[in-house]
Amino acid sequence: MEAGLLKRIEHDYVRPVLRMFRPPLHASFAGIDITYREELEGGGVTFGQDFLPYFRARGMPKQKRIFEWCSGPAFIGFSLLGHGLCETLCLSDINSSAVASCRRTVRANRLGERVSVYRSNNLRAIPASERWNLVVANPPHFDDRFPGEIRAHDPGWRIHREFFNSVASFLADGGVIVLQENNRGSTVETFRQMIDDAGLKIVFADGDSSELTEPNIFYYIGIMRREEVPPIWATSRVERIGEAAAQEGWRRID
């Protein structure tokens, strides 16, 4: 039997069966308990938690409604909700297992009146009535690595481009998008033209390098509609000051 066929059988049949027998994992953020499967975790439970100190360093006030794009089990969104950075939360993912995980978390923590969950290919199935004050995401970070792995691979940056082209209609007045990207797979310039083509603009970038890096270095891009003025918290300057207890530290420098 050819090696390629063996690998396909292992990927399509053996691994899914083995996953069924693995015990679920648990995470808790500010009293919100999440039960999830290991294969759904794409960094949100680790480096994704850097959103919290990052927003605090920027002095961001509590937001009316946050949307987590490409949410997976929504470690970032549920953490921001639990820590009081938003009043309500909207989540979506293309993966039905991730969506089911989010809905279990909503039921288990009695968050039905504060959290909406959608299964959506990018933003295609999001109700037109949705309006978000802040969008956050730890999206797929690579266009040329990890083919077939939906948590990491965005071939040709098609997922990003479609998101930029459709997100503006969902933003509330003054709404801000903050993406956590990886300098191992991209730079700010990777996305600048597609952001501009979508009628959006970059209002800040933090923690980035102008060149691709060998290690994983996570950075942030702040994006808004081109014609809008950024809120004060999105004009602040912050810098990374190192790691403490495996969590990046940030400080305001203006």
Question: How far is Cα 175 from Cα 230, in angstroms, rounded to an integer?
Answer: 8
What average pLDDT score do residues 149-158 get? Answer: 89
pLDDT at 231 over 60: yes
pLDDT of residue 147: 78
pLDDT at 17 over 60: no
Question: How far is Cα 243 from Cα 91, in angstroms, rounded to an integer?
Answer: 29
DSSP β-bridge partners for residue 116: 90
Among 17-21, 135-139, 160-164, 240-244, the range scoring the smallest mean pLDDT is 17-21
pLDDT of residue 5: 52
Question: How far is Cα 22 from Cα 201, in angstroms, rounded to an integer?
Answer: 44
Q: Evaluate whether 66 touches 135 at the Cβ level (below 8 Å).
A: yes
Q: Write out the two tokens for 248.
A: 């990046």
What average pLDDT score do residues 181-198 get? Answer: 97
What average pLDDT score do residues 142-160 get? Answer: 87
pLDDT digits (tens, 9 = 90+) for 78-87: 999 999 999 9
What average pLDDT score do residues 3-25 get? Answer: 58
pLDDT at 218 over 90: yes
Q: Write out the two tokens for 51.
A: 């959103």
For the chain, list the domains and their CATH numbers. Answer: 3-252 (3.40.50.150)
pLDDT at 184 over 80: yes
- Give the orientation angle of helix 75-82 with respect to helix 51-58, to 10 degrees: 50
Between CA 87 and CA 98, with CA 93 as vertex, the angle to 5 degrees is 95
Supply φ then ψ for residue 192, to 5 degrees: -60, -45
Between CA 121 and CA 125, with CA 123 as vertex, the angle to 5 degrees is 70
User: What count of residues does the chain have?
Assistant: 254
Residue of 51, 20, 58, 56 whose CA lies nearest to 38: 20
Pairing mode, if any, of strands 32-36 and 25-29? antiparallel
Supply φ then ψ for residue 195, to 5 degrees: -65, -45
Q: What percent of the chain is predicted at pLDDT more than 70?
A: 89
pLDDT at 20 over 70: no
**pLDDT band (50, 70, 90) for residue 21:** low
pLDDT digits (tens, 9 = 90+) for 32-67: 999 999 888 888 889 999 999 999 999 999 999 999
